[in-house]
A and B are shown apart, each in its own frame.
Chain A
């Protein structure tokens, strides 16, 4: 029996190790301008990475035996960009058949093959918050990812021990979903009612189970188990951070009231285009906001938007980040952050915090990432040109000290799995040969001038 326990322990232990087995790198990044975010900007500075962690920051560091050096002379070293709102690397986004689906989990549908992951790395991004969609009032639990591209194992993309988060949604999206299926909610009032009803159900569920657990009768009968209620109870108990899709100030304020009534504290508003109107209320509650730099007017409820939103929120003491919600925009979040200098004059550190430390705080991972500090994970991006400049070019991206993007070695076909039955066609945007011939003759005709073969 003892032997069995030993074997069992061994199995459990190996299982644990297998789970945590992601690649960790050692590297010395030499002589760059280090944008630490929390401790200022350090010129001509080296960053030593050991076993995936930042182990030293200083001048004239020596690379230990066998550790590769990267020359960053004239380049900028910043913490890897974190996108607090993303749907890349997911096989499914919405379980849209029901308006409360707290039981579903984006950790079940990670797609490590999504080429968008590589494109994000090529924009200096090292982590995304893989959110459920906004079709449901209460969507599913989300998953914080590290963009360890190149594996077929979805588990390897998970940000180990990141806090649990969940997606909520207010306004036009969930009501449109409700109306299309003939179910609640069909109005903003219905959204609030569903939220309150769900939490009241969860309170009842919690007390039923508490009574069951307190019951000393050996023949007691367990109440019905409900994964949806389990998650809602964990939200009430403060174990899950809520990220809520929202636009209008009135609905943002509504959710603050609902959460105050139910004693839920950990809340980030996603998009929050009208958050600037209730900035002081958000600050008082302690809620944070993750916004677009300047997207607006794509539907009625985002009409009253401003590119000054991030600045107004920051100046009012609201923890703010800038997100992409897009596989394209994610590639240049540094430009998005820079817009807050045009619209609002944020300092370099404030602007960079919007895409590094602040989203890290909103996801509860700021003890691990978001700034360049000794002891933190070596999730790092190297830029040619200052990242807030329009001329910035990301050149290398590291996750856990492992290089996942290198502009100097950027292979064109980044697909991990390829369908052997897919047809490949020659794609020609324009025919250079024809154009050359046209020039050969030395005549530029009117037709050639306006031809789409240019």
Chain B
């Protein structure tokens, strides 16, 4: 007995030793990439602690991943890296209410042989609420860095899928070594959307609404059954395990909210109808058309995340085009402008009705976030309400307001630092702190006019885009991958795209690279019809994040590319 005890102690000791050795190895940092210190002080800055609460000439101390002190009379710790905050503006990092940030889209499940369309397997039907974002979370995903670059510190991210893809988690938009380290708050929502199964039940919104009611009502009954069996199994039929119904239990007990991706005004009202029937806690995200729904949101206490995506402004006709317009066409064009105003004024009108909403980055190209926010402000949203939507309101709806959303002592160090008041046209983000880790961004000088096709004076030898890139974008037919090659000839870029699926090569046209933004167009043959694809996005090092737009079909999709090793 004594011998056994000694052995155990020795084993535990050895184990501890091993663990600490691993720790030492990590600290020795062979790659040299670790930060020298995790203690920072931003001094003499304008600190916007919360919407409408501003401190001038203040210092923010960050230590151990937390905000340790904020104020005008704060001692800077000796081991702190000091950042001179003169002319800088410190905000709480933004909070994204709904996106797929960090998630890797799984392969579409092939159609099973002998599929019985009225009752397909749950995986094919898209009924997988037991899945979690964590199953799809990928630390390598470039979406994390691109959203962080726009000022966001956390994102409520949900998995890809159909009707019930799984639960969403709040993730930190930092560079971490393991996916688990990204997770701030796990499985906070059950994510759902009106996405039917291809050729199987539920095929559209009709079946989805019915299926939702059926799943929920059964989960209510099953929860009672499970509970009473757990209390005393004697004499009760053993409940059969069912992962789908079990995933509904926290929703039924209102411990977990339902997050509905509902962009249109009709979809939003369908989600609310379902909630009224069943009684779960509801959040709606990616909302684009809710200018008429302020009162409804308030009556129902719905958590609302508006889309950061906005429609393109209708083009104003001039000269010959204007002369050729009929009166009717002019009236129709005027109505487009009226409705454009409604879309860009949505946030302002909901703020006026007293709805506390956040924002969702789901459908927006990340590089358009700030421009779209400024458009909303031009159309009546106050800067205070905009900031509240990006920080405190979002934190409140997601239940993380004790952790983040303000620059206050004790909150996690999720901070954005810009070189001018953020809601001004020329402001740029200088630093991001996520979970206490610092990320630097280069402040770009304002571009000289007339960059055009010229690539400036950069020597082709170390030109940021010349070379071969591997690209990847989603099409309705699946992922499209291939290579794109850029060359530079006398200051003008040329390039071609090669597709891995055997489609003919396409020459890129109108290649423009200026201020870190690369755009070009290329044509593809779609069944005898030539279709123009417009690609535009930002280059960060060897990473290209862009959006492909096919205006002929009113379709756009994100594209990413990585420069092949040099």
A residues lining the B interface (CB < 8 Å)? 14-15, 18, 91-92, 94-101, 103-106, 108-109, 111-113, 132, 140, 152-155, 181, 183, 219, 221-222, 224-228, 412-413, 415, 417-422, 424-426, 428
Q: Does B326 contact A (CB under 8 A)?
A: yes
Interface centre among B202, B207, B270 (most CB of A within 10 A): B207
Residues from 345 to 384 in B contacting A, C-beta threshold 8 Å: none
The 8 A CB mask of B200-234 against A (1 = contact, 0 = none) is 11111111011001100110010011001000100
27 contacts across the A-B interface (CB closer than 8 A): A15-B299, A92-B205, A96-B203, A97-B118, A97-B199, A97-B201, A98-B117, A98-B201, A103-B214, A104-B210, A108-B206, A109-B270, A113-B266, A152-B265, A183-B116, A183-B117, A219-B235, A225-B217, A226-B214, A418-B338, A420-B336, A420-B340, A421-B312, A424-B329, A425-B329, A426-B324, A428-B326
**Whole-angstrom distance between the Cβ of A125 and the nearest chain B Cβ:** 22
User: Are the CB atoms of A91 and B266 closer together than 8 Å?
Assistant: yes
User: Are the CB atoms of A99 and B218 closer together than 8 Å?
Assistant: no
State which of A112, A155, A418 has its C-beta within 8 Å of the C-beta of B336. A418
Q: Does B442 contact A (CB under 8 A)?
A: no
The 8 A CB mask of B304-336 against A (1 = contact, 0 = none) is 000000011110000000001110110111011
User: Are the CB atoms of B236 and A219 closer together than 8 Å?
Assistant: yes
User: Are the CB atoms of B218 and A224 closer together than 8 Å?
Assistant: yes
Residues from 87 to 101 in B contacting A, C-beta threshold 8 Å: none
Q: Does B337 contact A (CB under 8 A)?
A: yes
User: Are the CB atoms of A420 and B339 closer together than 8 Å?
Assistant: yes
State which of A132, A412, A425 has its C-beta within 8 Å of the C-beta of B331. A412
Complex Cα–Cα for A98 and B325 (A): 49
Give the residues in chain A near B116, CB-CB below 8 Å.
183
Interface centre among B204, B221, B326 (most CB of A within 10 A): B204
Q: A219-B235, A413-B335 are in contact. List 16 more A-B contacts (CB 8 A).
A: A98-B119, A98-B201, A101-B206, A109-B206, A111-B266, A112-B266, A153-B292, A183-B118, A221-B225, A225-B217, A225-B221, A226-B214, A227-B217, A419-B336, A420-B340, A421-B314
Q: Does B554 contact A (CB under 8 A)?
A: yes
State which of A100, A104, A421 has its C-beta within 8 Å of the C-beta of B207. A104
User: Are the CB atoms of B206 and A104 closer together than 8 Å?
Assistant: yes
Give the residues in chain B near A419, CB-CB below 8 Å.
311, 336, 339
Q: Does B56 contact A (CB under 8 A)?
A: no
Give the residues in chain B near A183, CB-CB below 8 Å.
116-118
Complex Cα–Cα for A15 and B299 (A): 8
User: Are the CB atoms of B221 and A412 closer together than 8 Å?
Assistant: no
**Whole-angstrom distance between the Cβ of A453 and the nearest chain B Cβ:** 17
Complex Cα–Cα for A24 and B280 (A): 33
Given the known interface contacts A97-B118, A181-B117, A417-B289, the answer about A140 and B206 at a Cβ–Cβ threshold of 8 Å is yes
B residues lining the A interface (CB < 8 Å)? 116-119, 197, 199-207, 209-210, 213-214, 217-218, 221, 224-225, 228, 232, 235-237, 239, 265-266, 269-270, 273, 289, 292, 299, 311-314, 324-326, 328-329, 331-333, 335-340, 343, 554
**Whole-angstrom distance between the Cβ of A133 and the nearest chain B Cβ:** 10
Complex Cα–Cα for A105 and B289 (A): 24
User: Are the CB atoms of A105 and B337 closer together than 8 Å?
Assistant: no
Give the residues in chain B near A113, CB-CB below 8 Å.
266
Give the residues in chain B near A101, CB-CB below 8 Å.
201, 206-207, 210
Complex Cα–Cα for A111 and B201 (A): 22
Give the residues in chain B near A95, CB-CB below 8 Å.
201-204, 206-207, 210
**CB nearest to B200 among chain A residues:** A97
Give the residues in chain B near A99, CB-CB below 8 Å.
118
**Whole-angstrom distance between the Cβ of B302 and the nearest chain A Cβ:** 14
**CB nearest to A223 among chain B residues:** B221
Complex Cα–Cα for A92 and B221 (A): 30
User: Are the CB atoms of A105 and B217 closer together than 8 Å?
Assistant: no
**CB nearest to A99 among chain B residues:** B118
User: Are the CB atoms of A421 and B554 closer together than 8 Å?
Assistant: yes
User: Are the CB atoms of A104 and B209 closer together than 8 Å?
Assistant: yes
User: Are the CB atoms of A105 and B209 closer together than 8 Å?
Assistant: yes
**Whole-angstrom distance between the Cβ of B312 and the nearest chain A Cβ:** 6
Complex Cα–Cα for A14 and B296 (A): 12
**CB nearest to B336 among chain A residues:** A420
**Whole-angstrom distance between the Cβ of A423 and the nearest chain B Cβ:** 9
**Whole-angstrom distance between the Cβ of B369 and the nearest chain A Cβ:** 19
User: Are the CB atoms of A227 and B331 closer together than 8 Å?
Assistant: no
User: Are the CB atoms of B325 and A108 closer together than 8 Å?
Assistant: no
User: Are the CB atoms of A424 and B221 closer together than 8 Å?
Assistant: no
Give the residues in chain A near B218, CB-CB below 8 Å.
224-225
Give the residues in chain A near B554, CB-CB below 8 Å.
421
8 tightest A-B CB contacts, nearest first: A98-B118, A420-B340, A97-B203, A103-B210, A222-B221, A95-B206, A104-B206, A418-B339
Interface centre among A106, A152, A226, A412 (most CB of B within 10 A): A152
**Whole-angstrom distance between the Cβ of B242 and the nearest chain A Cβ:** 11
State which of A100, A105, A418 has its C-beta within 8 Å of the C-beta of B335. A418
**CB nearest to B231 among chain A residues:** A219
State which of B199, B214, B311 has its C-beta within 8 Å of the C-beta of A421. B311
State which of A92, A154, A225, A417 has its C-beta within 8 Å of the C-beta of B206. A92
Complex Cα–Cα for A92 and B210 (A): 14
**CB nearest to A96 among chain B residues:** B203
**Whole-angstrom distance between the Cβ of B163 and the nearest chain A Cβ:** 13
Complex Cα–Cα for A105 and B214 (A): 13
Interface centre among B237, B266, B289 (most CB of A within 10 A): B266
**Whole-angstrom distance between the Cβ of A5 and the nearest chain B Cβ:** 18
User: Are the CB atoms of A417 and B265 closer together than 8 Å?
Assistant: yes
**CB nearest to A14 among chain B residues:** B299
User: Are the CB atoms of B326 and A426 closer together than 8 Å?
Assistant: yes
Give the residues in chain A near B217, CB-CB below 8 Å.
225, 227
**CB nearest to B219 among chain A residues:** A225
State which of A103, A221, A226 has its C-beta within 8 Å of the C-beta of B236. A221
**Whole-angstrom distance between the Cβ of B371 and the nearest chain A Cβ:** 17
Complex Cα–Cα for A64 and B119 (A): 61
Complex Cα–Cα for A430 and B537 (A): 44
Complex Cα–Cα for A412 and B328 (A): 9
**Whole-angstrom distance between the Cβ of B194 and the nearest chain A Cβ:** 10
Give the residues in chain A near B265, CB-CB below 8 Å.
152, 417
Give the residues in chain A near B221, CB-CB below 8 Å.
222, 224-225
**Whole-angstrom distance between the Cβ of A297 and the nearest chain B Cβ:** 31
User: Are the CB atoms of A426 and B325 closer together than 8 Å?
Assistant: yes
User: Are the CB atoms of A153 and B269 closer together than 8 Å?
Assistant: yes
Interface centre among A225, A425, A426 (most CB of B within 10 A): A225
**CB nearest to A93 among chain B residues:** B206
Complex Cα–Cα for A112 and B292 (A): 13
Complex Cα–Cα for A413 and B213 (A): 38
Complex Cα–Cα for A353 and B320 (A): 56
User: Are the CB atoms of A92 and B204 closer together than 8 Å?
Assistant: yes
Given the known interface contacts A219-B236, A418-B335, the answer about A91 and B205 at a Cβ–Cβ threshold of 8 Å is yes
**Whole-angstrom distance between the Cβ of B330 and the nearest chain A Cβ:** 9
Give the residues in chain A near B210, CB-CB below 8 Å.
95, 101, 103-105, 108, 140, 227-228
User: Are the CB atoms of B343 and A420 closer together than 8 Å?
Assistant: yes
State which of B214, B289, B299 has its C-beta within 8 Å of the C-beta of A18. B299
Complex Cα–Cα for A112 and B270 (A): 13
Give the residues in chain A near B202, CB-CB below 8 Å.
95, 97
State which of A14, A108, A221, A412 has its C-beta within 8 Å of the C-beta of B270. A108
User: Are the CB atoms of B207 and A97 closer together than 8 Å?
Assistant: yes
User: Are the CB atoms of B206 and A413 closer together than 8 Å?
Assistant: no
